[in-house]
Amino acid sequence: MRGKWENTTMTCPYDVLLSRLQSAFDHVVVGADPVLRPSDRGDYQANGIMALAKSQGMAPREMAQRVLDVLDLSGVAEVEVAGPGFLNLTLTSEYLDETLRALLDDERLGVATLTPRTAVIDYSAPNVAKEMHVGHLRSTVIGDALARIYRFRGYSVVARSHVGDWGTPFGMLIEHLVDLGEATAMAALSIGDLDGFYRAARVKFESDEDFRERSRQRVVSLQGGDPETRRLWQILVDESVAYFAEVYSALDVTLTPDDVVGESYYNDMLDAVVTDLDAAGLLVESAGALCVFPEGFTNREGEPLPLIVKKSDEGFGYAATDLAAIRDRVDHLHADELLYVVGAPQSQHFEMVFAVARAAGWLPAALRCEHVAFGNVLGPDRKMFKTRSGETIKLIDLLDEATERAEAALVQRSQDLSPEQRHQLATQIARAAIKYADLSNDRQRDYVFDLERMIAFEGDTGPYLQYAHARLRSIFRRLGTAWDPRAARFSLGADAERDLARGLIAFPEAVDAAMATLHPHRLSGYLFELAQRFTTFYEACPVLSAPEPSRTERLALCDLTARTLRLGLSLLGIEAPEQM
């Protein structure tokens, strides 16, 4: 997973160890993997000896010796062979001291920037004139975390919220808008009652033959480019996008209206998709529809499965839009990487779209293109999370409820906060609770939404991490006199100090793992563990009352921990308040 991206700096111990081990392993077999892991035996362990020994028909112990003979870890770590042939590596105290002091001066806390690439990340994607609900939570939160991580690593990120702003429902929506009158409709939409608007349109559509007919005509006008119809449609889009911006802001998500590029944006490119697929000899007419049959996909009957590009009614399917979007992103946005943060049920669709794009030559082989799939948000009954009456739950309601609970908890504890401060803080805690709960689960799995648990201040939660950070910051508020980080020397005499230090130097590994695997929970898990290391340290080691030079050393550890938590949380899109 490493080595795919070139590092511009190399400061973290893992990288140093890996490169030293790698050259030793290369002496035996070039490219042999040392299999370097964090370990509680030493600081790290290299498990690659056994596999290498097997491949060379040697005894593992003998192989270990052979590698040790050429392994140069001077100034970095001590090594010892254990068990069948594990290399247990313990960083020298000089090297730890050196590394930690370098971190004190490093705003990036050891995380290297990568050679810049452009990544287009497709996420969130709500529908125009429809409420943002829990179904959009994961895409929005995971996508935004990935975008933040990528940016921090030096990538240029183009975010795309691929909103549903086209298709047959818009006939009915526009007619409903006309019925209400523009002013009334805009007022309704601007207060965020998108669902009410949609539902009312739907009801009329189902019960009123005349309305239904008008709606059909409206679709035709819309697709035909009738200016007045387009103007009305634009009102729906603009009001919705403005509303999404409010929700994004409430969630502290980085998406802006500029990132909201709906399906309609690609309309003009759809004909070319068809023409070019045809020219490439990929297009087949089947049952009146224009299709591509990518290899390896079959339907229920075992027959080839089509990707329908143009429907038998002449309309374009969403596959056409997705294909057009790929071309646009590769050709015009110059993407080196494409990510689609979309639910797991669509995995086959994306596999097919990617296969067709590759077959058509629109996706260079070197370009990373991935469906970042995720599981469902489940309710307490382990079914799709809905209200008791079976309705979808608005994101904004979810956030409001979380904020209320956080606020209630704060009332009991924080006496010195003004109501405004308390509300502001409660908002930050609520966002942290919801986002962290999502990001700390393996994204591929379904997870059970339990607000009670996720907003708790104890346990593996966002608020717990925020609290750890706030405790750290309070130390510096009570400091009184200034301290000089540059005077810090890390002797790490106490176990708790050393454990904390080991956690601190591993931050780059966690960021790297989250990015390489596109699994933000690798980072959240790291942060939780770091917070635990800190609280253990904090119990065992007095800071402010410690004698020098211990006091300065411990303050430096606290400083690094606070900054690591803050930076790590920020990469997940979670704020770290100074006080709680």
Partner RNA sequence: GCGGCUGUAGCUCAGCGGAUUAGAGCAUCGGUCUACGGAACCGAGGGUCGGGGGUUCGAAUCCCUCCAGCCGCACCA
Q: 60-79: which residues touch RNA (CB under 7 A)?
A: 60
Q: Does 478 bind RNA (CB under 7 A)?
A: yes
Do the Cβ atoms of 540 and 528 come closer than 8 Å? no
Residue among 116, 196, 257, 459 that touches RNA (CB under 7 A): 459
Q: Which helix (H) or strand (E) holds 219?
A: helix 209-224
Residue among 126, 164, 462, 520 that touches RNA (CB under 7 A): 164
Q: Does 580 bind RNA (CB under 7 A)?
A: yes
E-assigned strand segments in 409-523: 447-448
Q: Which of residues 295-354 bind RNA (CB under 7 A)?
A: 298-300, 302-303, 305-306, 308, 311-313, 315, 317-318, 321, 344-349
- Alpha helices per DSSP H over 268-380: 270-279, 318-327, 347-359
Q: Does 1 bind RNA (CB under 7 A)?
A: yes
Mention every residue, 6+ apart, whose C-beta is less than 8 A from residue 222.
Answer: 170, 171, 174, 229, 230, 233
User: 3-state DSSP: the chain helix, strand, coil percent, rounded to 5?
Assistant: 55, 10, 35
**Nearest approach, Cβ of residue 556 and RNA (Å):** 13
Q: Which of residues 107-136 bind RNA (CB under 7 A)?
A: 127
Q: Does 30 bind RNA (CB under 7 A)?
A: no
Q: Does 88 bind RNA (CB under 7 A)?
A: yes
Mention every residue, 6+ apart, whose C-beta is less than 8 A from residue 465.
Answer: 432, 436, 527, 528, 531, 565, 569, 574, 576
Q: Does 467 bind RNA (CB under 7 A)?
A: yes
Do the Cβ atoms of 352 and 135 come closer than 8 Å? no
- Alpha helices per DSSP H over 79-168: 93-104, 134-152
Closest CA to 34 of 71, 59, 7: 71
**Nearest approach, Cβ of residue 343 and RNA (Å):** 8
Taking CB under 7 A as the binding criterion, the range among 239-247, 270-278, 353-361, 511-519 that sits at the site for RNA is: 511-519
If the CB atoms of residues 463 and 573 are measured against RNA, the closer one turns out to be 463
**Nearest approach, Cβ of residue 546 and RNA (Å):** 8
**Nearest approach, Cβ of residue 156 and RNA (Å):** 26
Residue among 142, 360, 410, 430 that touches RNA (CB under 7 A): 410
If the CB atoms of residues 382 and 489 are measured against RNA, the closer one turns out to be 382
- The 3-state DSSP class for residue 45 equals strand
**Nearest approach, Cβ of residue 184 and RNA (Å):** 27
Q: Which of residues 208-237 bind RNA (CB under 7 A)?
A: none
Q: Does 414 bind RNA (CB under 7 A)?
A: yes
Q: Does 38 bind RNA (CB under 7 A)?
A: yes
Angle at 340 between CA 334 and CA 344, to 5 degrees: 160
Q: Which of residues 43-62 bind RNA (CB under 7 A)?
A: 45, 47, 50-51, 54, 60
If the CB atoms of residues 76 and 181 are measured against RNA, the closer one turns out to be 76
d(CA 514, CA 504): 16
Taking CB under 7 A as the binding criterion, the range among 62-70, 198-206, 327-335, 468-476 that sits at the site for RNA is: 468-476
Q: Does 488 bind RNA (CB under 7 A)?
A: no
If the CB atoms of residues 178 and 289 are measured against RNA, the closer one turns out to be 289
Q: Which of residues 347-386 bind RNA (CB under 7 A)?
A: 347-349, 375-376, 378, 382
Spell out, one character per residue from 383 to 402, where the chain touches RNA: x when CB under 7 A holds, - when not. --------------------
Residue 130 DSSP symbol: S
Do the Cβ atoms of 129 and 115 come closer than 8 Å? no
The DSSP code sequence of 234-272 is HHHHHHHHHHHHHHHHHHT----GGGB--GGGGGGGHHH
Q: Does 263 bind RNA (CB under 7 A)?
A: yes
Q: Does 413 bind RNA (CB under 7 A)?
A: yes
Q: Does 428 bind RNA (CB under 7 A)?
A: no
- Alpha helices per DSSP H over 105-208: 134-152, 169-180, 182-190, 194-207
E-assigned strand segments in 439-515: 447-448
d(CA 488, CA 511): 26
Residue 487 DSSP symbol: G
Q: Does 84 bind RNA (CB under 7 A)?
A: yes
If the CB atoms of residues 99 and 524 are measured against RNA, the closer one turns out to be 524
Taking CB under 7 A as the binding criterion, the range among 145-153, 216-224, 391-399, 440-448 that sits at the site for RNA is: 440-448
Q: Does 40 bind RNA (CB under 7 A)?
A: yes
Residue among 110, 525, 568, 573 that touches RNA (CB under 7 A): 525
Q: What are phi and psi of 33, to 5 degrees?
A: -85, 125
Taking CB under 7 A as the binding criterion, the range among 67-75, 91-99, 134-142, 532-540 that sits at the site for RNA is: 532-540
Closest CA to 326 of 365, 372, 369: 369
Q: Does 545 bind RNA (CB under 7 A)?
A: yes
